């Protein structure tokens, strides 16, 4: 995960650096246009600072489900701001979906993600969403906070321990139907 960001940052730096070199006289109009486009893309890309994976003996990595109070109310609230701004337009204010995107809470979450870990759910969101600018709206922990909020919209209660960007923890929390 981190290496991808380091790589992205390096590419960004390389693009930013090479742009003035591109602008030399020996370039064809096509090359100049390509260089201008590359520079515009580099300028437009807002690098997101990667969050460190949390590794600590204190982290609960036991096997749990989303109904075990796996996130805090505070982080769901942080996630709510990001969700409303970046996801609700397509997935709906309560995550039940809209013409722009499928439901990611309620019946659709039950059906499509049953018995799948939060790590997979988080990874999908981080690597695919929002479409066309995946991963640009925050760092890993920000996406984990969005997941916390989505779970809250789905009806899960917050608890006292935080959901963290930690593969062992996220891989051991499963999306299952609400116990009756
Ligand atoms: C421009 C519209 C749009 C925005 C904004 C958007 N999504 Fe999506 N999302 C989609 C579409 C369309 C799909 C279904 C296509 C696919 O699965 O790749 C999808 C699929 C998903 C899925 C998988 C749902 C399933 O049916 O398996 C998740 C989870 C998800 N989005 C989360 C998010 C989150 C979190 C955000 C905000 C960070 C977000 N999306 C922003 C359009 C959007």
Domain locations in the chain as residue ranges: 2-44, 64-175
The residue whose C-alpha atom lies closest to atom 13 belonging to ligand 1 is: 101
**Pick from 60, 57, 75: which is nearest to 140 by CA?**
75
**Pick from 122, 119, 125: which is nearest to 167 by CA?**
119
Choose the residue to mutate in 101, 109, 127 for probing ligand 1, maximizing ligand atoms within 8 Å of C-beta: 101
Q: Which residues approach ligand 1 with their CB closer than 6 A?
A: 86-87, 89-91, 100-102, 104, 108, 112, 124-125, 128-131, 137, 146
| pLDDT tens-digit readout, 59-69 | 999 999 999 99
Cα 84 to middle of ligand 1, angstroms: 13
Cα 176 to middle of ligand 1, angstroms: 20
Name the residue with higher pLDDT: 40 or 51.
Answer: 51
Q: How far apart are CA 126 and CA 138, in angstroms?
A: 9
| Confidence tier at 17 by pLDDT (50, 70, 90) | very low
Q: What is the pLDDT of residue 43?
A: 61
Asked if 47 and 9 touch (Cβ cutoff 8 Å), the reply is yes
CATH of segment(s) 64-175:
1.10.760.10
Q: How far apart are CA 59 and CA 162, in angstroms?
A: 9
Over residues 122-150, mean pLDDT: 97
Choose the residue to mutate in 91, 105, 107, 109 for probing ligand 1, maximizing ligand atoms within 8 Å of C-beta: 91
Q: What is the pLDDT of residue 54?
A: 74
| pLDDT tens-digit readout, 75-115 | 999 999 999 999 999 999 999 999 999 999 999 999 999 99
Over residues 133-153, mean pLDDT: 97
Residue 136 has which token pair? 């640009």
Q: How far apart are CA 12 and CA 156, in angstroms?
A: 39
Choose the residue to mutate in 104, 110, 118 for probing ligand 1, maximizing ligand atoms within 8 Å of C-beta: 104
Cβ-count burial 44-77 (b if 16+ within 10 Å, e if not): eeeebebbeebeeeeebeeebbbbeebbbeebbe
Q: Is this model's pTM higher than 0.85 or not?
A: no
């Amino acid at each position: 995960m981190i290496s991808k960001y380091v790589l992205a940052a390096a590419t960004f730096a390389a693009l930013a650096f090479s742009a003035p070199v591109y602008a030399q006289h020996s370039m064809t109009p096509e090359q100049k246009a390509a260089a201008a486009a590359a520079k515009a893309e580099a300028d437009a890309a807002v690098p997101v600072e990667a969050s460190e994976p949390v590794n600590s003996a204190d982290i609960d990595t036991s096997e749990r489900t989303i109904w075990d109070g796996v996130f805090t109310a505070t982080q769901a609230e942080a996630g709510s701001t990001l969700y409303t701004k970046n996801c609700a337009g397509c997935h709906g204010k309560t995550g039940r979906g809209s013409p722009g995107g499928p439901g990611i809470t309620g019946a659709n979450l039950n059906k499509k993600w049953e018995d799948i870990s939060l790590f997979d759910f988080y990874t999908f969101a981080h690597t695919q969403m929002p479409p066309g600018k995946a991963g640009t709206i925050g760092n890993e922990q920000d996406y984990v906070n969005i997941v916390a909020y989505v779970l809250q919209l789905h009806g899960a209660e917050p608890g006292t321990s935080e959901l963290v960007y930690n593969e062992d923890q996220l891989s051991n929390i499963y999306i299952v139907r609400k116990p009756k």
